[in-house]
A and B are shown apart, each in its own frame.
Chain A
Amino acid sequence: MKDSKAAHQGAPFVAVENLTKQFGRFAALRGVSATFDGGRLHAILGDNGAGKTTLLRTLAGLIQPTRGTVTVLGSTDIRAVCDQLGYMAHPSLLYDEMSGMENLRYFARLYGIQDDERCAKAISAVKLDPELTRPVGQYSQGMRQRMSLARALIHDPKILLLDEPFSNVDIGSAREMVRLLESMRAAGKTIFVVTHQASLLDGAADEFVWMQAGQIVGRTRQLQPVEVR
């Protein structure tokens, strides 16, 4: 585990320290501290309510932690590095009434990208047809998830944050997604995947991060159940 390149280069790629998040009467994170290396595929696993999604959303800057700090690419202000982050959630984050290309064109504008060529490339990269005029609402779940991935990739971010990308997706599409993720890691991207279908990532992920009750309880290189306390 000690062979990581990033560890020698000073500042960690992504780090969280003593992260706590409280939602009213409920605490979703309870003092999470960890550092993550760049260029790897990290799978975050755990039961419902373990705090996986909250952790991911905090990394994406969608949630402000109650206490603790998040450092991404050396910055504690996520707003400042948000153009290096790509976020994908279980809901598609797309407008159902518009076609894939129309959707991507809009989201590209948000990153200051005016180039239709790039949108078309992003769609081709996830094995979809940029010419498809069908509204996204009529796509199959698997297609919609891939289009959602294209949206997260439109600005070519260094870090990808994926929340349950495989749920409600048939096994073939899910395997296809995993292959896409592996090729992106090979291209140097750092990927975080929150999922409860760990077996899909067996052999693909570089590391499995196990969460329980708002804390990280174990980190393993292989997919194996961890001994909890």
Chain B
Amino acid sequence: MSSLPTISTATLTKDLRLEWRSKDAINSMLFFALLVVVIFSFSFNPTAEESRQIAGGLVWVAFLFAAVVALNQTWARELRNQVLDAYRVSPAPANALFVAKAVGNFVFVSILEALMTPLFIVFYTLRALGPAWQLIPVAMLGTWALVVNGTFFAAMSIRTRSREIMLPLLLFPISIPALLSMVEGTSAILTGEASAKFWIVLLAVYDLVFTSVSLLLFESVLNAE
């Protein structure tokens, strides 16, 4: 029987190759995030002090919206020509597919964040007053939090009638604690007024809980007809 890491790697490689050829997800996601940044900076136009206060919220809301664009693409590719059926009739474990998709989305959203963060810094003249290195665990744990649930709920929402709209409706309420942690953690680091440790721990717990429950339940969702 084929093992999870082998199949995950094969699926991830396949997804990255397909994305490299079509660039569907990354292009629409990048442009969308750019639009959000520009519109936000028009609407708020803050001073340096104010932007430190609000940047955490702005950045993560922009990334959240952009991530939804990518997450919706995740399964669209598997639905074209009903390729998902070919996976389902094979002996490959369902979780291998989930892990590959979640890691793929993590890569896409991380690329987006790496490209958009400089833009935010330029537009909002940001400079962290707290320990800036802590932004890295906040970003990584936060991105995984969005992506793991997002990948799972995208797999659920493709089965519903209004596919694209369904994903944010499912994802946003559940993501509230993660989003609050990311926003508050980032603000704490930028303003240097409080410690972000609690938020990093909370994000880690969130990731642990929802990664486990996703792996536990994904097989039944994949095989629901």
Q: Which of A62, A64, A112 contacts B89 (CB 8 A)?
A: A62
In the complex the two chains form, is A93's CB within 8 Å of B10's CB? no
Q: Which residues of B contact A89 (CB under 8 A)?
A: 82, 85
A-B residue pair count with CB separations less than 8 angstroms: 76
Q: Which of A85, A87, A92, A102 contacts B81 (CB 8 A)?
A: A92
In the complex the two chains form, is A110's CB within 8 Å of B91's CB? yes
> For the complex, would chain B's binding face be called helix, strand, loop or mixed by DSSP majority?
helix
B86 beta carbon closer than 8 Å to chain A: yes
B125 beta carbon closer than 8 Å to chain A: no
Contact with B along A93-111 (1 / 0, CB 8 A): 1111110001000110111
A151 beta carbon closer than 8 Å to chain B: yes
In the complex the two chains form, is B83's CB within 8 Å of A62's CB? no
Closest to A157 in B: B89
A61 beta carbon closer than 8 Å to chain B: yes
In the complex the two chains form, is A95's CB within 8 Å of B91's CB? no
In the complex the two chains form, is A60's CB within 8 Å of B18's CB? no
In the complex the two chains form, is B18's CB within 8 Å of A109's CB? no
In the complex the two chains form, is B81's CB within 8 Å of A94's CB? yes
A91-B81, A109-B10, A112-B1 as given contacts; A97 in contact with B89, CB under 8 Å: no
In the complex the two chains form, is B2's CB within 8 Å of A110's CB? yes
Q: Which of A64, A79, A93, A97 contacts B86 (CB 8 A)?
A: A93
Q: Which residues of A contact B91 (CB under 8 A)?
A: 79, 82-83, 110-112
Q: Which residues of B contact A102 (CB under 8 A)?
A: 14, 17
Q: Which residues of B contact A95 (CB under 8 A)?
A: 14, 18, 77, 81, 83
- Expressed in whole angstroms, the Cα–Cα distance for A106 and B55 within the complex equals 43
B210 beta carbon closer than 8 Å to chain A: no
Across the A-B interface, the 5 shortest Cβ-Cβ residue pairs: A112-B2, A110-B90, A110-B92, A109-B10, A93-B86
